[in-house]
Structure formats: structure tokens, C-alpha cells
Amino acid sequence: MRYSRYLIPTMKEDPSDAVVSSHRLMMRAGLVRKESAGMYVYLPLGHKALRKIINIVREEMDNSGALEFLMPELTNADLWKESGRWNTMGPEMFRIKDRNNLEYALGPTHEEAFTNAVRSTVTSYKELPINAYQINTKFRDEIRPRFGVIRSKEFIMKDAYSFDVDEEGLDKSYQTMRSVYRKIFDRCGLATIPVQADTGNMGGSASEEFMVASEVGEETLLICESCSYRANQEKAVFKREEKSGSITGELEKVHTPDVKTIDDLVKHFSAESSKFLKSILYTADGETVMAVVTGDREINEIKLKNHLGCVELELASDDKIFEATKSPVGFAGPVGIKNIRIVFDLSVKNTFDAITGANEKDYHYKGVNPGRDFEIKEEADLVTAVEGDACPECGKKLSATKGIEVGHIFKLGYKYTKAMNFTFLDKNGRPANPIMGCYGVGVTRTLAAVIEQNHDEKGLMWPKEIAPFDVHIVGICKTEEDEKKIAEIYEEIKKAGFDALYDDRKNSPGIKFADADLIGLPLRITVGKSFFDTGDIEALDRKTKEIKRLQRKELVPYLKEFFGR
């Protein structure tokens, strides 16, 4: 492709709203343009790279035996009502009506649609397993679209749904997808870390996210360097310290006016934060629940929600708190509370002479001891693991890293096939529900993640398999005759099967080199003064910066060696 005939609107300056490298560089190298918040136009160069990722995803999915579908983006509300998610999907789902007032959603995910499509075509165990997938646009009304295409309102996802006759089959499908995902990301030049992820209360039994380590990642991963434990912080568990101690004091009520936060309490009582029991009240599907954790820890609402098995969990209103504790916000504690469900974190039982709210305005208790002053009837892991906590598997210290989630695999179970009454006839001729898994790759987010991982201060550094072109030919000459000679080399490279971007513009060499660095194709071939003087062509490896000087006849063999084709 001749640069002069292509459209690459590179920018010298960083766009003001781009805070992460991938967003900045995708704009500057002319891959995308912003249409409005969370919506992007893929310009030809960006689209070409995206197509390469899509092709890799498609090839690997097809190789695994998965079947490609193309689903409507407009999904009928009836399907969502069947699964019960019309009411639980929340404001992230775009809902619209047609002229006849029929309701639809713009597909944010397609469990219902695929369950429906497969149930209408599969009747017997003989037709299973099936892994059905599509590569299609998803719509999500994200609260905060940001970081360019990393979190947008409209994005491309590969979503796949497996249907198996039994759990063993599901496990096979899941493991197949796990290895397919590794291949996909490897081929994209992306180093990913699979981490254990939250399975929510969907009845799922296993879930892993594929993370790309990055400072701009929105997820926190806890990683054990000594063993293979890797988990999303939402899900991560840790080994609890065995604390020994003894009860020394009596339960004592202390006047604590204006002492509300853990920091205030630490100052007031001059005690460590772990001595305090934080009691937080929630409304879980309408019911008031108290969660009690030690003061040195953050409560993990995902763990709490999973433990309670509720759909909606929110902090209790002041009125509800007063109703349950007979005191205003800031003085709740488990002592003497009988009328509501209380869940204790696993560490609470190991506290001695603790301090907690007295369920009375301006009062706390000290000398609080579990067992003596309140009973632990229900306990669960309710807190967030942090860096330095002990690995649940080997006991060594966990470290924390930020990550971008590019893919997610999930054992869904029977949730959709049961709710939507999808049955097949099993070996014995009896109706049974298939068991499902679902598997997503954020295709557009993957493109951004590749760029996060492959750039320098001058611009992009494309991995070979997904680079929009293989080589960037910079031609530098003054006469038309010389231009013809450069064009011959361009034709020769094309003929040898390499996709070349030939910068034939009349711009200065400085501008051409800067654009070549910014666009970042794997190999830059300069045909300029030294070619016309001595026949030397310069080949620059964008990543290693290594320069080779080649004679014309050496060029194609070198390209073959460089690209391994």
C-alpha cells in the first residue's frame, strides 16, 4: 500500500483526554478516532490490526471444533424475562422499544440468545457437546467509559457458550477453551496471567480471567511467586494468622463522643486497628444483615454477596440501621443484637479484648470477647486479601499487581438451561438439561492491551502476527527516476508475499522516520542515499533497534528469515 493512497492521520501531540499509553498511541498513530464518549471509529490501519486479531481468534476457535454463529445484536426482552435477567441486569443494559412498543436489549452478552438458538436445534445427546460462538459487537452502558477502547460502550467480543451432557463434558470443554485462550493470546504477542476469578452466585463452579499485567489495569491480582496461586483480588483468599491470646478484661462501656471512624478509634483507644470489630449493616434483597470484620481489613462485598446468595446488596439506610441497632450510624456492634442476621469474618473468633460499637449513640464497648459477649453463629471469609497476606496454598507472601482483563472463562452450570427449559433426550431417552460454560475474549480490548505491552516513547512496536503491515518502506529520493527504483523494491517485497506500507510521500525524511516509529511496523526498510551511492538498503528492527545493511538481492531472504515464513 502506498502511504499517499492510504489514510493514516498521525498526530504530533497527545490528545488531551488520553491518560493511558494505548489510548494515546491509538489516536496518535491514526488507528482510531473518538466518535463520542466510549465510542470509537476504527480507521483503516486500526481496523487492519483488529482484523488480524479476529482472524487469530476465529482460527483457534475453529481448530478447537467450536461452531461460529452470527447472532442478532437486538435481543428480545422475552428471552431475558425467561432467564429472569430482564430485572437483574441493571442500567448497564441498553433497552429499547420498537414502533409497536415491543422491548429489546442491545446485547451486552448472549447467554440467553445462544441457549435459545441451541435449544431450538438440538434434541438429543447425540448432538452434544456443542460449543457455539460468535465474534460480534456488544453494547454496555458503562458508568465510566474510559481508557479508549479498553472500556467502551460498544466493543467487539468473541463470546462462546458450550453445552455438554454432563459435568465431565463441561470440564473438557472448559479445559479446551483454557488452552485455546493461551494460544490466542500467545499469537497476539500478549503475555497473560490466568487468575482465579469470582464465580458470583450464578451457581458456577470455576472461573478464570486472563489478565495482562499493566499499571493501568483496573483489576488487582494477588500472585504467589512461590507456587502457582493466582487470583483476582475480588476472589483471593489467604491463610489466616493463628493468633493466641487470652481474655483479660471485663466488658466495659466507654463514652466516645465524636469518635466514629477506625482512625478516630485508633487514636482514642490507642490500640491497633485489628483490635476493633467493624460492624457494617447491609440490605440484602430487602433483609437487614450485619457483617463484622476486624478493623485492619476491608470488607469484600463480593464475598459477602456470594455468601448470602443474594441478588442485591447495598449499604443499609440510616433508618434501617436505627431500626436494627437503636442507634445512629457509627456505633453498631454485635453485642446484644438478636433481631438480625449477623455474619462474622473468619478472623473475628481470634480476637481478644476487642473494641466495638455499643449500639448506643456516643458509646463503644471495650474488653469485647467473642463467645463470651456475643455468639458466632455464622462465619465466612468476608475480607479482601492484600499484598503481604499468606498464600492459601503454600503460606508464602502474596504480591499484588494491576491487570487488564482480556478474557474470561466460566463454568456456568445449569442456570440458563434450567431457567429456559432447554432439555435434550439422554442415553436412556430421558429429558435432561445440558450443562453450560461461557467464554469471552474482549477483542478490541485485546488490541489495546497489546499496545500497552508493546510500545516505547516513540510509538508502537507491533508483534509480527497482528501488525497491520509487515514492513514500512521509507523512500528518500529527489528524482522521479529514483522513485521508480524504490517502487521496484516495493513491488519485489510485495511479490515475495510481504504486506508493505510504502511511504512515497514528498515529506522530509524526518517526518517519515517519526511516522514510521509512531506506527511501529515490525521492520523499517529505508531506501535512500546509501542505496543510490553503494546499493545498501537499511533494515531496522523496530523492537530491538538492530540495523542490518543489505544489498538488494539479500533483502527478500532476510525478510523471510525475519518473519519466519
| Contact map string, positions 202 to 231, toward ligand ATP, x by CB under 6 A | ------------------------------
Beta carbon nearer to ligand ATP, 180 or 489: 180
DSSP 283: E
Centroid of chain to Cα 249: 48
* Beta carbon of residue 109, minimum distance to ligand ATP (angstroms, whole number): 6
- Does position 407 interact with ligand ATP (CB under 6 A)? The reply is yes
Q: Which of 496, 490, 492 is nearest to 473 (CA)?
A: 490
Strands 363-368 and 341-345: unpaired
- C-beta atoms surrounding 447 within 10 Å: 28
- Written as one letter, the residue type at 348 is V
* Beta carbon of residue 446, minimum distance to ligand ATP (angstroms, whole number): 7
Place of cell 449500639: 359
Binding residue (CB under 6 A) for ligand ATP from 125, 133, 139, 155: 155
Place of cell 447491609: 282
- Does position 152 interact with ligand ATP (CB under 6 A)? The reply is yes
* Beta carbon of residue 87, minimum distance to ligand ATP (angstroms, whole number): 18
* Beta carbon of residue 438, minimum distance to ligand ATP (angstroms, whole number): 8
- C-beta atoms surrounding 141 within 10 Å: 15
Binding residue (CB under 6 A) for ligand ATP from 24, 28, 140, 455: 140
First-to-final CA distance of the chain: 20
- Does position 28 interact with ligand ATP (CB under 6 A)? The reply is no
Beta carbon nearer to ligand ATP, 28 or 408: 408
Beta carbon nearer to ligand ATP, 156 or 432: 156
* Beta carbon of residue 197, minimum distance to ligand ATP (angstroms, whole number): 8
Q: How many helices (H) and strands (E) does the chain have?
A: 14, 31
Q: Which of 294, 305, 242 is nearest to 271 (CA)?
A: 294
- Does position 157 interact with ligand ATP (CB under 6 A)? The reply is yes
Residues 6 or more apart in contact with residue 179 via CB below 8 angstroms = none
Binding residue (CB under 6 A) for ligand ATP from 24, 34, 151, 297: 151
Q: Which of 379, 337, 343 is nearest to 357 (CA)?
A: 337
* Beta carbon of residue 131, minimum distance to ligand ATP (angstroms, whole number): 16
Beta carbon nearer to ligand ATP, 159 or 164: 159
Burial of 172 (0-12, 13-18, 19+ CB in 10 A): middle
- Does position 275 interact with ligand ATP (CB under 6 A)? The reply is no
- C-beta atoms surrounding 255 within 10 Å: 10
Strands 193-196 and 363-368: unpaired
Q: Please report, as residue ranges, which positions from 417 to 476 form the binding site for ligand ATP (by CB under 6 A).
A: 440, 442, 444-445
- Does position 520 interact with ligand ATP (CB under 6 A)? The reply is no
> How many residues lie near ligand ATP (CB under 6 A)?
15
Beta carbon nearer to ligand ATP, 345 or 405: 405
Q: Which residue has its beta carbon closest to ligand ATP?
A: 442
Place of cell 486479601: 385
Binding residue (CB under 6 A) for ligand ATP from 82, 103, 127, 142: 142
Residues 6 or more apart in contact with residue 94 via CB below 8 angstroms = 105, 106, 108, 139, 140, 141
- Given a contact cutoff of 8 angstroms between Cβ atoms, the answer to whether 463 and 41 are in contact is no
* Beta carbon of residue 122, minimum distance to ligand ATP (angstroms, whole number): 25
* Beta carbon of residue 408, minimum distance to ligand ATP (angstroms, whole number): 4
- Written as one letter, the residue type at 303 is K
* Beta carbon of residue 9, minimum distance to ligand ATP (angstroms, whole number): 23
Selected range binding ligand ATP among 148-156, 331-339, 467-475, 498-506, rule: CB under 6 A: 148-156
Q: Which of 89, 404, 449 is nearest to 232 (CA)?
A: 404
* Beta carbon of residue 388, minimum distance to ligand ATP (angstroms, whole number): 25
Distance CA 67, CA 80 (A): 23
- Written as one letter, the residue type at 109 is T
Burial of 210 (0-12, 13-18, 19+ CB in 10 A): buried
Beta carbon nearer to ligand ATP, 279 or 444: 444
* Beta carbon of residue 326, minimum distance to ligand ATP (angstroms, whole number): 39
Binding residue (CB under 6 A) for ligand ATP from 303, 408, 455, 524: 408
Distance CA 387, CA 122 (A): 48
Q: Please report, as residue ranges, which positions from 99 to 128 form the binding site for ligand ATP (by CB under 6 A).
A: 109
Selected range binding ligand ATP among 59-67, 81-89, 267-275, 405-413, rule: CB under 6 A: 405-413
Q: Which three cell numbers stand for residue 14?
A: 497527545
- Does position 406 interact with ligand ATP (CB under 6 A)? The reply is yes
Selected range binding ligand ATP among 52-60, 151-159, 354-362, 387-395, rule: CB under 6 A: 151-159
Contacts to ligand ATP by CB under 6 A: 109, 140, 142, 151-152, 155, 157, 405-408, 440, 442, 444-445
